[in-house]
Chain A
Amino acid sequence: MLLTHSGEYVQLLTPRGERVDAPGFDPWVADIGSAELRSLYEDMLISRRLDTEATALQRQGEIGLWPPLLGQEAAQVGSAHALRQSDFVFGSYRENAVAYCRGVDLTTMISVWRGNANAGWNPYDISMAAPAIIIGAQTLHAVGYAMGCDFDASDDISIAYFGDGATSQGDVNEAMVFAASYAAPVIFFCQNNQYAISEPVGVQATKPIADRAPGFGIPSIRVDGNDVLAVFAATAIAADRARSGNGPTFIEAVTYRMGPHTTSDDPTRYRSDDELAEWRAKDPLDRVERYLTRIGALDDTETARISEHSDTVARELRAAIRALRPPEPLSFFDNVFAEPNRHLARQRSQHEAYLASFDGGELS
C-alpha cells in the first residue's frame, strides 16, 4: 500500500540543486518547465519575505504573535500549487504560505495575529477554512468536506494540513478511519517539521509517520518536504487519486521548522545550533535557486524582478496592518448565532447602557 517504502523519501531536487530521477514521480512534474519552477520559487521567496516581515512586525509590537513557517516554504507552496482553486483547504495556524498561494487578502490574514479577529479571511473567498488552533481538529473537517464532494458527484477534493504533533491526536486517527471507510477524496498532508513546540517527533512516533497510514488502509508517500518538486509531484498524485475515485492518500513531507514555534518561543531550550545548521544546508529555497541559476533560468534581471515583487508584498503587509482600525467595541456580540437571539441582544443592550453611563467622564 505504501507508494514509497518505509524510511525512504522522494527527492527530485537535491540540496545542491541537482535534478535527480524519481521514476513514478517525474511524469507528474513534466509540465513544470523553467518558467513554472521560477514561479514556484517566486512564491516561496515571497512567503519567506512575508514570514520575516510578520516576525519583525511582532517584534515591533504591531502584532501580538506570529507562527513562523521559515523552512517550510517548499512543503506549503509545492502542495498548494498542485491543487485547484475549487478544492478546499483545511489548515492549522501555520499554513500562511498556502493562504498566500490561494490569494488571501493580507489584511484578513494578519488581523488574527493582531488580535482583531479569530478567523480572519472568509473561507469561501479562497476555499480555505478558518485556521485551526485546536490541534488536529481540521483533519476531520477535511474528511467530511470530501465526503460531501463525493456525495455531490463533484471532482473537487479537500486537503488537510497538520503537523507531526497532531498525528497523536484522536481526531487525526479518527479522520483516517472515516476517510478510508468512505474512500473520501481527501489528502492528508503532514508537515513533519521535527517538532511539536519543544517535543521532538520521536515523542509522537517511533517509526516514520508515513508508515502509519497503510494500517488504516490509506496509501502513503514520504517526500523530502524541502524539495518543492517532490512535494508538487506527491500532491499531484494524491489529488489525481482522489479525483478519480481512489480515495485518500497520506503525504508525509519531511521538513524543518527553522524558526521558533511562535514568536513567544525560545527554541534554544530544546534544540542545538548544530541541528539547525544541518537543516540550513537543506534550505528549500537555496536548492531551487542553484538549479535555476545553473540552467540559466534565473538571471540578474529575473532576480531583481522577484526581489522587487517580494518588497512590494512586504510593503502591502505593513500597509495592511496600518490600515487595520480598532474594531467596533461591541461587535463581539455579533454573529454568535446566525439567527436573532433575544438573550444576547438583552445582554448587549445592558452593556451599551453601561458604556453610555461613562459619558461625561465618570460613572454617574
Chain B
Amino acid sequence: MFGFSEEEIRRYSRHIILPEVGGRGQKKLRESRVLVVGAGGLGSPVAMYLAAAGIGTLGLVDMDRVELSNLQRQLLHTTADAGELKVESARRRLAALNSQLRLELHPVRLGADNVASLISGYDVVVDGVDNFPARYLLNDACVLAGKPLVEGGLLRFHGMAMTIVPGSGPCYRCVFPEPPPPGAVPSCSEAGVIGAAAGIIGTVQATEAIKVLLGIGRPLVGRVLTVDVLEGTYRTVEWGKNPRCPVCGEHPTITSLRELAEYDLACDLPGAGTRAP
C-alpha cells in the first residue's frame, strides 16, 4: 500500500489516520527534501521533528562545533559531543531517531557564493541561522529562486515565525526592510535566550514546513507569528507584501545573487551561535 513496509505503516500510523495526511501525504513526506540551515537552537527541534515525521531527505547546513553553552537549548547535541562538528553530532542523533532518513550534511558557512547551490536541490528551506546577514542572504536567495522558506527568529524571551512563499505573500524584507545596523542589537554573546523559546519557534517552523510540503491548512504566509514566552502571549499579525521591497517588490533592486556579496561580512562574533537561536 503506497509502497509502505509493515514497519512504515506502524511507525506513521498516527499520521496515516489523519484525513489531512493519510497514506498519500505520508508518501509525499517520504519523497520530500528539506534544507535546514543551522543545527542550533531552532534547527534542533526542526530537524528532530521532521526526521520523526518521516521526511525523506534532510539537508543540514552548519559549520560550527558543539560548545557547552549550546546544550542549554540545542537538543541535537550531548555533552559528549562538545568540540565536534554540529552536523556530525546531528547525524548521529537523527540516524538513531529514524534510520530511513537520508541526511545530506553541509559543514560550510552560508555565503553569497554557495547559497544558491545549497538551496537548489530542496523543496523547502527552514531558517535556523543565528545572525542577520545570513538571514537576509537566505531570504534573498529563496525569493530569487522561488523557493519556500520558513523563517524563525529569537531574542531572549521573544520569538517570531513566518512562511515565505515567493509570489504569494511578503518576504522577510517586506516585514523587516533592512538589517539592523551593527551594534544596534545585542551582540551575539550578550544575548541570553530561554531554551524553550527556541523549542516553540522551532516546532512551529517544523509544522509550517510539513504544511507547505503537504499543501494543507493555512501556513503563515502573509502573517507573522510573534511569541512572548514571558507574558505567555502568542499572536499572529496580518502582513502584506511591500510593493517597494528591494527583493520581491515591483521594482526590485536586488536581482542577482552577486549583489548579495555584501553579506559576506557576516557576524564577527566567535561561534556565531548567537542572537537568533
Partners in one complex: no
